[in-house]
Structures are given as structure tokens and as C-alpha cells.
Amino acid sequence: MPELIPVLTKNDIDNLVARVARRISSDYQNHDLILIGVLKGAFVFLSDLVRHLDIPVKIDFIRVFSYGSDVCSSGDIQLTKDVEVDIKNKDVLIVEDIVDTGLTLKYLIDYLRSYRPKTIKVCAFIDKQERREADIKIDYSCHGVAEGFLVGYGLDYDEDYRYLSGIYHLKP
Ligand code: IMP
Ligand code: MG
């Protein structure tokens, strides 16, 4: 059986989300902000984030499929669900569960730029630094980790563990 080692409790997560939401609320006062969640992993974080913000936002989702193993994206990325709201001339914030190599995010930023939004920034719950390959800026990150494969709070391993309310390090 794989071992689950606790990394963040539900309470830790609540505090981290509240803190990042305060920054975003203050930075985007009087803006037309559209949050774009990256399916599937970001659905839990996005739903917590919007309930901590005290500014009005619109919400949409995008989905990508990344070829490769269950634990590492290959950088060979395909869009499987596009955005549906009009983001032209709007302020866009991409909401991700975790950034690892950064290749997914790089692809998404380049893709969404083609719709000519006014600004595009990135909010990621976890910034995992060890395997970063793409040169990308994470404007809002909640928690940094050096390495390891994490599950829970939307993060999966082969579709398991997304439902856990804490974040765990999965040890094979
Ligand atoms: P990247 O393109 O390597 O940055 O990978 C991004 C995607 O890979 C994330 O959105 C996750 O879906 C998945 N991923 C990367 N690291 C982990 C992890 O530790 N646990 C679960 N999913 C991960
Ligand atoms: Mg993801």
C-alpha cells in the first residue's frame, strides 16, 4: 500500500487560501476579473478561492491533456476543453492546482494570449520547484515545495485521492 504523509491540513489550507485571496481582492479591485480553472485538479482550490474573495469575478474552466506518465508531464499537451466566456480585453487569472515543470502553464498562457485578454496572471496553490523547465512567473502561489508527488485537495494519482481535504505526500 502506498503511504500518505501529511503535508498540509485542512486548517493550513484555509489559512493559505484566505491569505492569497486577500492579495488578489486588493490587486483586482474595480477590474473585470475572470478566473480560469485548469481541470480537473484546480476545481477544489478554485471553489475555495472564490468564496474567500471579496470582489466580483467570472469563472470559467479550461482542460488540457498532457501525454506522459501519471507522475510527470511530457510537455506534449493538447487542449481538450476551451474557455467559453469572452476574455478579450479582460483581466484573466489562471488558477492551477500545482505547477511542476511549468510546461502546462506555458502552453496555457501562450494559448490564452491568442484571445487578446488585457492581462494574464497565474495563481497556483502549490509551486513545486525541483523539475521546473519552462520560464514562467507564478504571480500568486500559496505554498512552495521542493519535490515529491502530492495528492489530495484536487490533486490525484491515477484519479484517486482528489477528494481528500488535506494535502499528502504519496510515497510508493
Ligand atoms: P507541469 O506541466 O509539469 O507543470 O504539470 C502540471 C500538471 O501535472 C498539474 O496541473 C497536475 O495536474 C500534474 N501534477 C504535477 N505534479 C503533481 C503532483 O505532485 N501531484 C499531482 N499532480 C501533479
Ligand atoms: Mg492541473
Side-chain-side CA neighbours of residue 40 (13 Å): 13
| Residue 12 falls in the annotated catalytic set | no
pLDDT tier, 1 (very low <50, low <70, confident <90, very high otherwise): confident
For residue 125, which phi and psi values (nearest 5 degrees)? -65, -50
Predicted confidence at residue 172, as pLDDT, reads 87
Q: Are 59 and 89 in contact (CB under 8 A)?
A: no
What pTM did the predictor assign?
0.96
Give tens-digit pLDDT for 115-132: 999 999 999 999 999 999
> In angstroms, rounded to a whole number, what is the distance separating the alpha carbons of residues 116 and 88?
5
Of 10-24, 72-86, 123-137, 158-172, least confident by mean pLDDT is: 72-86
> In angstroms, rounded to a whole number, what is the distance separating the alpha carbons of residues 22 and 61?
22
Q: Which ligand is nearest to the CA of 149?
A: 1
Q: Which ligand is nearest to the CA of 108?
A: 1
With a 6 Å cutoff on the Cβ, whether 41 touches ligand 1 is: yes
